[in-house]
Chains A and B, each alone.
Chain A
């Protein structure tokens, strides 16, 4: 991209600048620290020049927005055409209360819904199960049956909103409930838009809400791919996630590597199940973290896009360009929020928002300032939403596409992250792919090591966290936090009792029996789950049937 002679000139001037100007400056005022690093501990030089990207081929490696390898963005007009979806993850306590929060957010200008379920729901337990004690409604909304789902979306037209559901192991059940609710609203499946997270591999790696063993979980996932490609064509059937991997402590390169390795595993599973890559790949989506180091994050997203495009084209022979596009949702990094001086978090989230936007995300969730301690209050969540709106409309970064391209630093970083990620993926391939690597604990060990290193850096003050290890104050100002109390659990139990009395229990039994039978075969389970859901079988009842047939995942922990 650069003229060789000019490069030589630059090389000479940089060398003499370092020797004369910089040396002199440093001998009088040494630099602030010994080592300058990215948020992921990567080395950062004093200065970047064309020399650092002298081999960069614009057309091959950057290209144009909406065109392979999509480094600069997956759409040709990006935010000039349409801003990212402002999609705040929300849900807590009961379906009634969550429904109210959703309506509030839609009123406030949010453009898509994102449902947070409580832990019992995510792990396939009803609110009255022994293991659900103390957990009902705490980290999200409690959904025990179709009845709760109907309340959750009451008054919300499912043909007009797109809904993202953060649900993994029992995704098939919740998706079926969503379809059933839409049907009652008179909305056909073809019109439904949204996403289910449905990424079980990262559950084994970093998030922990698994139910069934890997093989059977993959079966359910490919069942969903197949079912939706025919019946719910606008639905994004998986959100291959790196967010949690990063939250668990990984570096930026690892976030890309382990996420794409998981993606590779899903594509391989679907192909093995007989699907054609271009039939399902366009509906694959991703979910990344937006961490503190703005420039590293931007480079990370660009590297991920380029790498995935290459993988889809070269490794899987995809023909449809849509199969090669890495579309992603982003959430600002929860683990960077501090309990100390919570208002500081608003600023952190702003920086992280800029990172995600400059990186070309398709949708974004911004964390609220009080989330180091509890689920957000209405006030806090409003500020989080406003952050997105101000960046979108007042900062100017959305006026043009991929504005940081061409920066010597950002392009170097993009190259470096892509290379590091590729090396990790190669190692994982050697271990037999992501599922095997997880079984062996390779991915988990890498993440833990990075997490421990990070903590030691914070404690040794190598890494500053404002308000926590530097610039602390005597905390006195306490804000109101959201509280979810025990009445939710009590009410859900009541509701379940009533449901079990009022529904047609014969029908429930029949559909569950049929599901159990089919689970032992190779058939696609979605239609049978949908039937059971419509008969008002509870989430726990359906999952227990599957537990009987599939067994439960046994954790392997390597510390």
Chain B
């Protein structure tokens, strides 16, 4: 296929098709794609990643659209990864975030990719990490990751983004839930969207109060009221995000965070490969199946069964 021959060069030149194709290949666990990434990885590192999270209906897509437009004014190149939940029953998904970003579809400096979670539970898809790298190498200055708002600790986004933006809306009741579920701790910037609604001020106060309780950190997340629909105060929000970036860069925190995230990613991939290795062997000749049956019949116990499987790896490598 012609594509494979110079997909790297085309990616480095900023060819959207090559970028898109490479993301697809990573989504599909294509080994060739990983090899390509290995070769061009050193070209990454320029992009700043902003994670956008929050409950469904908070207006994340519309806000992403507006923030992107602000950054475009500054001549930046933007990548957007919009994630929607994959149906656990059918394995399919409706990826509808582009609708709120129709204006951006034709902008030369914007690349938007929709992804399904494809079984991942943390609000992001596994292939998102790969997509971010590709977009980085493609030339994006900023990459927005718009996650599925699962409403609980969104662990994944913290392991990926440089700045995490939490989008809330007044009166959803989620404000209280969010506080209870501990999500408050993961966000670096809070946006109270749909600020034209009653209760926006009250929500802001509640969030601020909860931030008061976390006095240890020397960075205090700002809480900004915005209205994405009315394009109001988006510039202020963007400023706060960029201020957070400045803070991270000045204190060297950015490098620490990224190193930590890289560690987590490497670990995760090691985990996956090992798991695959083990399962392949355990499933071969129905070993796992038989052990499970023996455990049920009390012919062995789960712990010994585990030992037997682990031994396969230890001995065979």
Contact = CB atoms under 8 A, between A and B. Distances in A.
A and B touch in the complex (CB under 8 A): yes
Interface of A: 440, 554-559
Contacts of B1: none
Contacts of B99: 555-557
Contacts of A440: 57
Contact of B94 (A555, A556, A559): A559
Interface in B96-110: 96, 99-100
Nearest to B231: A551
Nearest to B98: A557
Nearest to B229: A554
A557 B61 CA distance: 12
Which interface class (under 10, 10 to 19, 20 to 34, 35 or more) fits B? under 10
B198 to A, nearest CB: 11
Closest 9 CB pairs of A and B: A559-B94, A557-B99, A559-B96, A557-B96, A555-B99, A554-B100, A554-B229, A558-B96, A556-B100
Contacts of A556: 99-100
12 contacts: A440-B57, A554-B62, A554-B100, A554-B229, A555-B99, A556-B99, A556-B100, A557-B96, A557-B99, A558-B96, A559-B94, A559-B96
B195 to A, nearest CB: 15
Nearest to B62: A554
A557 B96 CA distance: 8
Given A554-B229, A555-B99, A558-B96, 9 more contacts: A440-B57, A554-B62, A554-B100, A556-B99, A556-B100, A557-B96, A557-B99, A559-B94, A559-B96
B102 to A, nearest CB: 8
A26 to B, nearest CB: 36
A554 B62 CA distance: 10
A532 B106 CA distance: 34
Contacts of B229: 554
B94 to A, nearest CB: 5
Nearest to A213: B229
B202 to A, nearest CB: 18
A376 to B, nearest CB: 34
B196 to A, nearest CB: 12
A169 to B, nearest CB: 19
Contacts of B62: 554
Contacts of B100: 554, 556
Contacts of B94: 559
B68 to A, nearest CB: 15
A556 B62 CA distance: 10
A556 B57 CA distance: 11
Interface in B66-122: 94, 96, 99-100
A557 B95 CA distance: 11
A554 B57 CA distance: 15
Contacts of A555: 99
Contacts of A557: 96, 99
B303 to A, nearest CB: 47
A558 B96 CA distance: 8
A557 to B, nearest CB: 5
A556 B61 CA distance: 11
Nearest to A559: B94
Contacts of A558: 96
B126 to A, nearest CB: 24
Interface string B220-262: 0000000001000000000000000000000000000000000
Interface in B36-79: 57, 62
A554 B230 CA distance: 11
A548 to B, nearest CB: 16
A440 B171 CA distance: 14
A435 to B, nearest CB: 13
A376 B62 CA distance: 42
Contacts of A559: 94, 96
Contacts of A554: 62, 100, 229
A558 B57 CA distance: 10
Contacts of B57: 440
Nearest to A439: B229
A554 B102 CA distance: 9
Give the most central of B94, B96, B99: most A CB within 10 Å.
B99
A558 B99 CA distance: 10
A440 B57 CA distance: 9
B85 to A, nearest CB: 12
